[in-house]
Amino acid sequence: MLATPATAQFGALKKKIKKAAGPEDSTGASHGANANTAAPAQGGTIVLTSDVVNQLVTGLKAGQAERDAAAKDDSPYPRYIRGKKAYAVAKPKCEAAQAGWPQRAAANQKLNDKYSRLTQKMVDAMQKQDQKTAAIYQDSAMAMMDPSCVVKEPEQPKDYYEMERAIELRAENAEVKASGWTAAELAMVKERTDAILRGTPAADISASEKAAVSAKAAELKPLMGIEEQPVARAQKPAPAPTSVAAPTPQVDAQTSAGSSDMSNCMMKNMQTHQPQLEALGQRAQAAQKAGDQAAMMAIADTVQQIQMAGCMKR
């Protein structure tokens, strides 16, 4: 047998290596079967080209779709999230209605009388230790101010964080699958994109990457949970207060007597309804601890109604 020349052996070996590595491109670089051509990399960092940004948007939309689907479920976590959103919308409406309620009630005697009857029934129910009926009458009185005042802040489920993490895990898996990247690659692209959108890009981020992300900023920001900050408007300086001499108060004997009668009337009401006022005070403390401003204002208004009952006609 003739020995195979060394040059022929090396040539055959070179062909095998070349075939395993994959075909060469125009630059002479080979691409293996697992190369990620949609995410060009430099030194292990994925470059944010337009195609990469579009790929990120696709992944983020898939994750958001998973969260939206979970939010429509009738399990405790979605119900709590929906309740929180409803309360956040209702709370400022109720506070505005409460602020204008005294003027509305004063201008409409029938409305004021109906409100007084409801609050009195609430006090009567509390005196009988019937908290359920008292809450019903309180809600009825609050609804007269505005329907938003009946919306309650929901109680957070005990396993809230476990349920939240489970949904986020499903959303992250959907993002990875739709983007075509690994979890580590997706996290890298998110981090670099987030830095650009927030105006804090790293030194290694190029101008072309900033341009690619900025072109999709309007679509990316809500998907990445970045809220637009409202533009602060310049406030005109308030005019300097004009020095005005305070008028000397004139004491009216009739007014002074009327104030004394009202004070005595209020004191009598407080003594008569002391158990109810103490119960209301306890409910106000509980509402304060829970941060329920609407309930606190409603209780304060009820206390005022009890104190002032019949005193304005004197």
pLDDT digits (tens, 9 = 90+) for 254-274: 544 555 665 677 667 666 766
Q: What is the mean pLDDT of the chain?
A: 76
Over the stretch 47-102, which tens digit does the pLDDT of each residue have? 999 999 999 999 999 999 999 998 888 889 899 999 999 999 999 999 999 899 88
Domain assignments of the chain as residue spans, ordered by start:
41-72+158-223, 110-150+260-308
Q: Which helix (H) or strand (E) holds 293?
A: helix 293-308
Q: Distance between CA atoms of 66 and 175, rounded to whole angstroms?
A: 9
Give the C-alpha separation, 131 to 310, whole Å.
25
Virtual torsion, Cα 29, 30, 35, 41, nearest 10 deg: -10
Q: Is the pLDDT of residue 134 over 80?
A: yes
For the segment 177-203, what is each residue's pLDDT rounded down to a tens digit? Answer: 999 999 999 999 999 999 999 999 999
The reported pLDDT for the residue numbered 166 is 93
Give residue 34's pLDDT. Answer: 38
Return d(Cα 190, Cα 172) in angstroms, integer.
12
Q: Provide the residue type at 132 as one letter.
A: K
**SS3 state at 42:** strand
Question: Which residues, other chains included, contact 134 with Cβ-Cβ below 8 Å and sequence gap of 6+?
Answer: 122, 123, 125, 126
**Which of 49-58, 132-141, 237-246 is modeled with the greatest confidence?**
49-58
